[in-house]
Amino acid sequence: MREAALNPPPRRHGRLVVRLLLIAAAFFAFGFALVPLYDTLCRAVGFNGKTLKDAIETKDIPPSAVNYARSLGVQFTATLMPGLPWEIRPLEPSIELHPGELRTTRFLVRNLSDKTIVGQAVPSVSPTVAARHFRKLDCFCFKQQTLAPGESREMALTFVIDGDIGEEVSELTLAYAFFPAPNPN
Amino acid sequence: MNTASHALDHHDGHHPTGLLRWLTTTNHKDIGTMYLTFSLLMFFVGGAMILGVRAELFQPGLQLMKPEFFNQLIGVHALVMIFAALMPAATGFANWMIPLMIGAPDMALPRLNNWGFWLLPPAALLLTMPFFLALFGIGDGAVATGWTLYAPLSVQGGIGVDFAIFSIHILGISSIMGSINIIATILNMRAPGMTLMKMPLFCWGWLVTAVLLIITLPVLAGGVTMLLTDRHFGTHFFNAAGGGDPILFQHLFWFFGHPEVYILLLPVWGLMPHVLSTFTRKPVYGHDAQVYSFIAIGVLGLIVWAHHFLTSGLPIPALLYFMYSTMSISLPLAVLFFCWIATMWRGAMSFETPMLFALGFIVLFGIAGLTGLVLADVAADAQYHHSYFVVAHFHYALFAGGIMGVMTGVYYWLPKWTGHMYSEKLGKLHFWLTVISFNFTFMPQFFLGLAGMPRRIPDYALQFAEFNAISTVGAFALGLSQLIFAYNVWRCVKGGDKATDRVWEGTAGLEWELSSPPPHHSWETQPVIKTS
């Protein structure tokens, strides 16, 4: 009787233990599943000012979509992250445009070092609700940029702001952070 | 161990003594003792670290250490106190008391139990080793990111970060094994007639804690694993340039980090009603209401994590959600406070040391709860975030709530564990010195935070000098007072007045029907709970 109480047969707790281990494993996996989930969620609702990843085509923005009755102010800023000895500035710090209007703007980037360096720009839009209405046709942020020693280059961004952007937004800012490319191609 | 319990051990065949006994033991009481001893030791290690910090902050300017070392001390202090002091103390309680309370002969998985404990010392060693390696010119010291390990700082940090990551992995495995063991014990080994709703509240507090640990610790383990691969294997989970997002780390960390607060506090909330009922000689008020509150707090605790980074640029709807959900936790918590007070209401109260600590806990933990409501307010948090107000708030929660709660339990159960009464005089002295010096240490920090002093900075503006000086004096008094505690415990283990089986006049529950100390193997024949 006492032996049985002290040394319960090993199977007795086995099923419960396996289930609890499975729960722990499932939540370990959940942590990793959060990576794509978080990215998708951020792009869908514009958390962190993440803009949509995919470029759109010119045919997606018919000229008829331009809303001339409304004007928006757009500001451009750019910062360099540590480890990137470059210089960057928007050639047009701020512009006025109509929703639905196709625009191109340029940033001047210069490599101040005597080495060839690869950089990657990461955009962010404020207010965050405007992020998913900021649609890019072409952007230097779509791929890594390589600058030779001392080279300077004008980098272009072609974009349109969706006509259905909320009335509460009258001014938005697109900020680029230029990082040293982690894995230069 | 006395000969009487040796006689009961015949079924083990042979019985190692000395160090081998502790290395190989599968007895829940031995393992509980090891957890508690380890916890007390690490409590002093973590405390010594923060006294270094407070000494540096005694005066403005840098006197004693470089900022890098200061940063290492604050982060390792937190990790040691949380993972190596508070959590093992609660697990030690669980090991000692849950089998006694539910009438089980031991924990469900005794070998896993041994392994769970013996993972802790190497993990603590890993965490603190970089301090010593740096003395020999290896690496640049321990993890210097604060305990939150935020990316990108932790991606750039030195080898201390790697040591911390592996330490967290091991501590996490240990905690998950402990939790599985506790859940299996509680669900499978209760005495006949003890339904879940009749189970003592301490066991309930631990059941919810164990579930929270199993859910949240793997997410932290995943997060720090991503950190590790970002650091060494070219992934970009938290690197914006590679398509990752540093804010994601904050989500992963606090998905664990916020429930962790309740993981530390639920065992204490569970033990409070036992103490309050004992020293008021009244039954626990609202047993079921407290059970439901534990569960509600556990569930709500899982869905409020982003209030730790309300200033990181979350959109307004998310801010509102996290604000209101956080504030809603105060409802079940208020139920607990109500039940504690109602248990005492018109009771025949006496003020032995555990009761003093319990009362101190209720008052000071109440301050933690109320200041937490202020911090949860999105508009107010913009001012308080990352200030000393936060430091004061969570020390009211985790020192007054966590550590004083653990001390309540130690004084309450020590006579049961050792068979001796501790010195009531020293216990009361310890309580009053602790509660006074605690308030001297942390009350000024609320005002420092309101005045704008940021946390985690080794220097500060001149206008903060007086409050910092008071806080440092308080901290040293608080630290030294704990030596009385260690001495009192030591003294009680060695000898003292014989404790009766019931120890206290107003005790109720199976654990008090056993002798003090309980035999090495208890409840070999399961007790039966009468259903009335």
The Cα–Cα gap between A26 and B474 comes to: 45
Say whether both A39 and A106 belong to one domain: no
Please indicate if any CB of chain B lies within 8 Å of the CB of A143: no
Same domain, A88 and A30: no
Cβ contacts from A onto B, under 8 A? 111
| Cα–Cα nearest to A82, from B305, B93, B156 | B156
Nearest CA in chain A to B315: A47
Residues of A in contact with B238 (CB under 8 A): none
Same domain, A35 and A80: no
Within a domain: A176? yes
Q: Give A60's DSSP letter.
A: G
Question: Any idea which of A7-11, A64-68, B343-347, B368-372 has the lowest mean pLDDT?
Answer: A7-11
Q: Domains, chain B, ranges and CATH?
A: 30-510 (1.20.210.10)
Check if the beta carbon of residue B264 is closer than 8 Å to that of residue B90.
yes
> Measured between alpha carbons, how far is B74 from B76 in angstroms, rounded to an integer?
6
**pLDDT tens digits, one per residue of B121-178:** 999 999 999 999 999 999 899 999 999 999 989 998 999 999 999 999 999 999 999 9
Of B365, B443, B433, B458, the C-alpha closest to B403 is B365
Q: How many domains, in total, are found in chain A?
A: 2
Residues A54 and A138 in one domain: yes
Does residue A55 share a domain with residue A36?
no
Residue A172 lies in a domain: yes
Dig out the tokens for A21 from the structure.
């281990």
Question: Could you tell me the CATH number of the domain that includes residue A153?
Answer: 2.60.370.10
Q: Is residue A132 part of a domain?
A: yes
Compute the nearest-CA separation of A60 from chain B (Å). Answer: 26
Q: Is residue A9 pLDDT above 50, yes or no? A: no
B446-481 per-position pLDDT tens digit:
999 999 999 999 999 999 999 999 999 999 999 999
Cβ-in-10-Å burial (0-12, 13-18, 19+) of B361 comes to: buried
DSSP A117-177: EEEEEEEEEESGGGGGGEEEEEEGGGS-EEE-TT-EEEEEEEEEE-TT--TT--EEEEEEE
- Alpha-carbon distances of B435 from A60, B275, B363, B401, B475, rounded to whole Å: 68, 18, 10, 12, 11
**Chain B stretch 50-109, residues whose beta carbon is closer than 8 A to a beta carbon of chain A:** 105-106, 108-109
Cβ of residue A38 closer than 8 Å to a chain B Cβ: yes
| Sequential DSSP letters for B494-527 | H--SBPPSS-STT--SGGGGS-SSPPSS--SS--
Sign of CA dihedral A16, A21, A24, A29: negative
Which strands make up the sheet holding A171-180, listed edge to edge? A94-97, A72-80, A171-180, A117-126, A145-147
| Cβ atoms within 10 Å, residue B450 | 14
Q: Could you report the per-residue pLDDT of A84-101, keeping only the tens digit for each?
A: 999 999 999 999 999 988
At residue A129, the pLDDT reads 80
Is there a single domain that holds both residue A35 and residue A69?
Answer: no
A1 touches chain B (CB under 8 A): yes
For B496-532, the pLDDT digits (tens) are 999 999 999 989 899 999 999 999 999 988 898 876 5
Q: Which of A123-132, A168-177, B453-462 has the lowest mean pLDDT?
A: A123-132
The shortest CB-CB distance from A2 to any of B109, B318, B524 is to B524
Confidence check: pLDDT of A61 > 80: no
Q: Is the pLDDT score of B278 beyond 90?
A: yes
Residue A184 has pLDDT above 70, yes or no: no
Residue B137 contacts A, CB cutoff 8 Å: no
Residue B12 has pLDDT above 60, yes or no: no
Angle, helices B120-135 vs B28-56, to 10°: value is 30
Asked if B219's CB is within 8 angstroms of A24's CB, the reply is no
CB contact under 8 A, A34 and B248: yes
Q: What is the pLDDT of residue A39?
A: 84
Domain that holds residue A19: 2-45
Torsion angle of C-alpha atoms B196, B199, B205, B210, degrees rounded to 10? -50
* Nearest chain A alpha carbon to B525: A2
CB A126 within 8 A of CB A168: no
User: Is residue A140 domain-shared with residue A109, that is, in the same domain?
Assistant: yes
B317 compared with A63, residue with greater pLDDT: B317
- Tens of pLDDT, residues B387-443: 999 999 999 999 999 999 999 999 999 999 999 999 999 999 999 999 999 999 999
Mean model confidence pLDDT for chain A: 85
Contact yes or no for B222 and A31 at CB 8 A: yes
CA atoms within 13 Å, Cβ hemisphere of B39: 23
C-alpha B465/C-alpha B446 separation (Å) is 14
Domain membership of residue A140 (yes or no) is yes
Would you state the pLDDT for residue A46? Answer: 66
Find, in chain B, the residue whose alpha carbon is nearest to that of A118. B241
Coil, strand or helix at A94: strand
- Residue B532: per-residue pLDDT: 52
* Residue keyed to tokens 């709970």: B529
ipTM of the complex, rounded to two decimals: 0.89
A185, part of any domain: no
Q: Which residue has the higher pLDDT, B243 or B365?
A: B365
Shared domain for A80 and A31, answered yes or no, is: no
Residue B5 vs residue B32, higher pLDDT:
B32
Quickly tell me which residue has 């103490």 as its tokens.
B275
Nearest to B27 by CA among B487, B336, B298, B417: B417
Q: Which residues, numbered 46 to 105 in chain A, qualify as contacts with chain B under a Cβ-Cβ cut-off of 8 Å? A: 46-49, 81
What the block records as the tokens of B300 is 């709500």
Residue B3 has pLDDT above 50, yes or no: no
Determine which helix (DSSP H) or strand (DSSP E) holds B371, and give its type and residue range. helix B353-376
Record: contact B214-A31, CB cut-off 8 A: no
Instruction: Dump pLDDT digits (tens) for B80-99.
Output: 999 999 999 999 999 999 99
Q: Which of A3, A27, A183 sits opposite B215 (nearest CB)?
A: A27
Q: Indicate whether B6 pLDDT > 70.
A: no
Which of A45, A61, A79 finishes a domain? A45
Tokens of B295: 């569960």
pLDDT in tens, B291-312: 999 999 999 999 999 999 999 8
Of B214, B223, B245, the CB nearest to A23: B214
Residue A151 lies in a domain: yes
Contact of A13 with chain B, judged by CB distance below 8 Å, is answered with yes
pLDDT value of residue A185: 59
**Cβ–Cβ under 8 Å, residues B405 and B395:** no
Q: Cβ of B67: how many Cβ atoms within 10 Å?
A: 14
Q: Are A34 and A76 within one domain? A: no
- Is A5 in contact with B105 (Cβ distance < 8 A)? yes
pLDDT band at A133 (very low <50, low <70, confident <90, very high): confident
In this structure, the answer to whether residues A91 and A175 fall within a common structural domain is yes
How big, in percent rounded to 5, are the helix, strand and coil portions of chain A?
30, 35, 30
pLDDT for B14 equals 57
Q: What is the mean pLDDT of residues B326-341?
A: 97
Q: What is the pLDDT of residue B315?
A: 81
Average pLDDT for chain B: 93
Token couple for B262:
């309740």
pLDDT of residue A118: 92
Residues A25 and A100 reside in one and the same domain = no
- Can you give the pTM of this predicted structure? 0.89
pLDDT at A58: 72
In a domain, A149, yes or no: yes
Burial track B407-432 (b if 16+ CB lie within 10 A, e otherwise): bbbbbbbbbbbbbbbbbeebbebbbe
Is B215 an 8 Å CB contact of chain A? Answer: yes
- Using alpha carbons, select from A53, A51, A69, A56 the residue that is nearest to residue A132: A51
A121 and A84 in a single domain? The answer is yes
From residue B293, alpha-carbon distances to A49, B187, B198, B262, B423 in Å are 38, 20, 15, 12, 35
Residue A74 belongs to a domain: yes
> How confident is residue B5, by pLDDT bands cut at 50, 70 and 90?
very low
Taking alpha carbons only, the member of A92, A84, A142 closest to residue A116 is A84
The answer, for B212 touching chain A at a CB cutoff of 8 Å, is no
How does strand A72-80 pair with strand A117-126? Answer: unpaired
Q: Is the pLDDT of residue B324 over 50?
A: yes
Q: How far apart are the first and last CA of chain B?
A: 39
